[in-house]
Structure formats: structure tokens, C-alpha cells
Amino acid sequence: MPLGGLGEFGMNMLALRYGEDIVVIDAGMMFPEAELLGVDIVIPDITYLKQNREQVRAIVLTHAHEDHIGALPYILRELNVPIYGTRFTLSLVSKRLEEAALLENATLREVLPGGKIEIGAFAIEFIPVTHSTIDCVALAIRTPIGVVIHTGDFKIDQTPADDRPFDLHAFARYGQEGVLALFSDSTNVERPGFTPSERAVVPRIEELCRTAPRKVVLSCFASSIHRIQQVIEIAERVGRKVAFVGRSMVSNVEIAHSLDRLRIPDGMVVRPQDLRSFDPKKLLILAGGSQAEPLSSLSRIAVDNHRLVTIEENDTVILSARIIPGNERAIFRMLDHMFRRNALVYYDNSAGIIHVSGHASQEEQKLLLGLVRPRHFIPIHGEYRQLFRHAAMAHQLGVVSGEILLIENGQPIEFTAQGAFRREPIAAGRVLVDSGSLEEIEEVVVRDRKHLSEDGVVVPIIAIDKHTGKMESLPEIVTRGFLPADDGAEIVSGARDVVLRTFGSSNPEEKTDYSVIKEKIRNDLKRYINKHTSKRPLILPVILEV
Ligand SMILES: [Zn+2]
Ligand SMILES: [Zn+2]
């Protein structure tokens, strides 16, 4: 039963059932598109699992990325079952559950890459694979009617940064024995050739760090432990010290370091309080926020609103991360701020590789299909066109003896001795969550209606002079369905003060970046209104350019 990640990018989740036993593979989230106003994250609909809660034995995780573990805090609230995963994966999960006050009642069971466990009718082997974070596994699940392989996310890196290889032998072994069904990662099916090894980023990044006239700010995903390790080693070779900036960056580095999966030479790290005075020629800063998430470190640095880091002329900025589709506008706006400060900005591979993907390209996908030679094949982890192309590739290779099933979320497949069959669709879809209140919203409309009926709407209207960046007049606060009659006027004038203060304390660049200024105003007003009225009205800042 595919519950997420098939036909869309993110929130991967798949349930496997044999008789009375259900095992869930991954529990991911995705970030909402901009039009899902006020929604913080999106998770899979688990109605099917709730209806069959007596049979759900466990959630098994392939690796620590958000699109595979991010929904756990929400799902565990409804369905507290044991969670299996490798060490690094579970460390990140623990952190997440701790923040949600769920850790105490959670059952986390660590497995080693290469290890085996039994859950109900299933015997599961965790096959080591290479990907853009550490401790990643594929699953070989032995069922009474055959072996099912789920690749998780993978690429076939021949020279992994941590020297822990992709276990090709395991896949070949299962292929020889016979595999009932293969579920495989389709992300990069549009890319010909092989995905370069993680080590491929070293020469160019090293060159940039060696020749950088002043400090280097490099941003990558906080979960890219391989990348972080290599950057630390580069820094050591070129005589720079490193600093870590950003909540997830600091936290993940600490976790990986404590697990002995990140080597940081003694005396290599610059403390936050020493950053401002440190010789920029000897400094390399690893910062989170590569996707220009609002209020993340790199976004703040870009508009000169970071406590510790300022970009000056001739500083070097390296974006060592994929630009996730949908984030282009925000990222390029952020980079524009860097360019305005006359920084040397590098964000693509045009003059040398500064980022490599963690997903298999066509030749690796073919290699895997050829090794496993499954009876049935189901492309997963991709948008529809990617699933389609992956299916077409398998067809062309001719290594699949049974069915190639192009399916999307909610379309169950039943495997029997006779073949693979599509069954009656089950409930599947997106659940929208406001992480502030931890409430689930079936549909954004429902949430908006609820907000409007209970807490109303607050619209701060700010008129900004396009040329000077100054406020043209006092902000207007329009409210509907909100405010008790007695202290209404007081709250409105307080809200106006909050807007004035937020605007006043923002710097010129922030003031011209309306998405930043809106987000700041929304956050500050939310806090103020919640504190004084315990209500959570819908806040929709409007900026009028005059
Ligand atoms: Zn991944
Ligand atoms: Zn993924």
C-alpha cells in the first residue's frame, strides 16, 4: 500500500501487509507549497493504518532525511508502534521526538547496517547503501511468498566519503535467489550516466577555499554529514578553522560527532562568540539554510540580520546543495543579496563540481535492476513522470519477468503466486499540519474556516515607498471576527506598535524583501496576539508599494 511519495516529491511512506501483519516503511513529510497559507508541513494520510491499527507491527526507517522521518512525531501520536532504524537515523528521530515530548513513550530499536530482524511474518535485512547522508539502508524483506526489496534512497558511490560501500553483493545475492518485487528510487531517472561520487566535490571546493581572499561561507544540508566531513578536511588542508552556524547544522554535527561518524581535529572549531573577531582569511563557516528557508541562517546572513556572521566584500559564498524545485525564487533572491554585497558567490557546477546528488542516475538504476532482476517492479520516490520513465527503463532492459506497475499513492498491489494485481484504492492523501499548534488539518479550507470562525482574521496593511523603503503612513490593522469588544481598541493599537517595531528594527535589505518582512510581521504579531488574547487568528500581512 503506497501511502506517500509516489507521484509527488516528499512524504515517503509505504505499508506492507501479509495476513495480520503490517510493517510501515518510512514516515516522511514534505514542505508545503507557498499557496498552502499558514500550513507548516504536510504528512501522509494514515487512515488506512488507523483502521488496521491492531495489525501495524512497526515502522522501519531507511534513513534520516525529512522526507522519510519527518512525519513520525505526528504519526506516533496516533499510532505508537516500535520504530526500527540505524544508529544515526534513530539519533535524529530521538531528537525530533524529544522536542515533541514523545520520546519517553516511544520504542526505538537500533539495527546495524547488514543486520537482520524479524517482525511478524517478515524477516528484514538492512542492506547498506550509499546516499547523501550516513547510515542509509535498503530493505530486503522476506515474506512467506517471496522477497521484496525496497531500495530506500540510494546512489551507487564507488568511493564513498566514509569508505562504507554500497553492498552490491547483497543485491546480487537476492537477485540470484529470486526477488518477488523491487521498489526502487526514481528521483534521478531523467539524468543519464552515473551520479558522481561524493568525493567529486573536493577539488573545486578546495580550490575555492584555497584562493578565497577572505572568509568562506559554505551552505549544505545539515544532514549531509559526508559533505560536512569533506569540507572540514579541506579547511584543515588550506589552513582555515571552521564554525558551525544554524540550529540543525549544529545539532547534526554534534550528533554525528558523538557517534564517531564525523572527525573534527582538535582545535579546529571556532566558537560562536569568537567569530566576529576571527581573521577572515583563516575562517570557513558551515551554515544551514541552503534552501533559503525563511529565517534560516543563510537567509539571515544574506540580509545582514545574523547575530554572528556578516557578508563583506570579497567574502566567498558557496551553495553546496541542490536547488530543490519550488525553492528557486527564494534561493536566487537570497543569492542576489549576497551579490549586492560584492561577495564571490558560487551556486552551480558550471566551473567545477561543488555539489553532487545523492540519488542514482540512469546507469546505476539499470545496474540495480540488472542485479536484482525482480519478478515485479514498482518505481517509487518520484513525481509521476519520473515513475513513468523508471518503468519505461525497466521495460526496455527486459529484466522484469512479471509486471511493471506504475502506481500512485493509495493504489494497493496484491502479490500472489499467480502474479501482481491492483486492488481497490485505499484512503491516501495529504494531511496539512500547523506545527505551532500541532493540529492536523484535513484540508486547508477547513483550517481557514476554523480560524475565521473562531479566531478571525487580522490583516496588517503596510504602505512602503518603493524607492526609499520607508513606511508611507502608520500601518492599518484590519480585523474581522476577532477581538472582544471591551479591549479591542487596545489590542489594535498594540498590534500597530508591533508592526512599527518589527519594521523599524529591520534593515534596508529586509525592507525591500517583502517575503522576509511579511514573515517577520506575521511571526511577531502571532506571538503578540496569542499572548494577549490566547487566540490564533489568521494573519495576512499586506504590503502596498507606493
Ligand atoms: Zn534521502
Ligand atoms: Zn528521499
pLDDT value, residue 34: 56
Q: Which amino acid is at 416?
A: T
Separation CA 438–CA 440 (nearest Å): 6
Q: Which amino acid is at 414?
A: E
Q: How far is CA 493 from the centre of its chain?
A: 39
Contact criterion met (CB below 8 Å) for 67 and 11: yes
Contact criterion met (CB below 8 Å) for 96 and 73: yes
Residues listed for the chain: 546
pLDDT in tens, the chain (546 residues): 999 999 988 999 999 999 999 999 999 998 776 555 556 789 999 999 999 999 999 999 999 999 999 999 999 999 999 999 999 999 999 999 999 999 999 999 999 999 999 999 999 999 999 999 999 999 999 999 999 999 999 999 999 999 999 999 999 999 999 999 999 999 999 999 999 999 999 999 999 999 999 999 999 999 999 999 999 999 999 999 999 999 999 999 999 999 999 999 999 999 999 999 999 999 999 999 999 988 899 999 999 999 999 999 999 999 999 998 888 999 999 999 999 999 999 999 999 999 999 999 999 999 999 999 999 999 999 999 999 999 999 999 999 999 999 999 999 999 998 999 999 999 998 888 766 555 565 565 666 666 677 778 889 998 888 778 788 888 888 888 876 556 678 888 889 999 999 998 988 888 878 888 888 999 999 899 888 887 888 888 988 887
> C-alpha distances in angstroms, 175 versus 76, 359, 362?
35, 21, 19
**Active site (catalytic) residues:** 185, 359
Contact criterion met (CB below 8 Å) for 9 and 412: no
Contact criterion met (CB below 8 Å) for 166 and 200: no
pLDDT value, residue 491: 85
Separation CA 150–CA 28 (nearest Å): 15
Ligand nearest to the CA of 137: 1
pLDDT value, residue 510: 84
Contact criterion met (CB below 8 Å) for 358 and 133: yes
Query: Which is nearest to 127 in space by CA: 158, 167, 85, 182?
Result: 167
Cell for 40?
A: 507548516
Query: Which is nearest to 319 in space by CA: 285, 290, 276?
Result: 290
pLDDT value, residue 466: 76
pLDDT value, residue 489: 81
**Which position has the grid cell 554535527?**
253
- CA torsion sign for 297, 299, 305, 310 is positive
Cell for 148?
A: 521484496
Ligand nearest to the CA of 357: 1
Cα of 430 vs centre of ligand 1, distance in Å, is 20
- Rounded to two decimals, the pTM is 0.83
Cα of 201 vs centre of ligand 1, distance in Å, is 19
Cα of 68 vs centre of ligand 2, distance in Å, is 6
Cα of 318 vs centre of ligand 2, distance in Å, is 24
Separation CA 216–CA 218 (nearest Å): 6
pLDDT value, residue 534: 79
Which residues, in sequence order, are CB contacts of 421 under 8 Å at separation 6+? 413, 414, 415
Can you count the helices (H) and strands (E) in the chain? 16, 26
Cα of 529 vs centre of ligand 1, distance in Å, is 38
Ligand nearest to the CA of 133: 1
Separation CA 336–CA 345 (nearest Å): 9
pLDDT value, residue 37: 54
Cα of 387 vs centre of ligand 2, distance in Å, is 14
Ligand nearest to the CA of 26: 2
Residues with C-beta atoms within 5 A of ion ligand 2: 67, 153
Separation CA 168–CA 488 (nearest Å): 67
Which residues, in sequence order, are CB contacts of 380 under 8 Å at separation 6+? 2, 5, 6, 12, 14, 150, 183, 184, 185, 186, 387
Q: Residue 376's beta-bridge partner residues?
A: 181
Q: With residue 124 as reference, give the H or E element that holds it.
A: strand 122-128
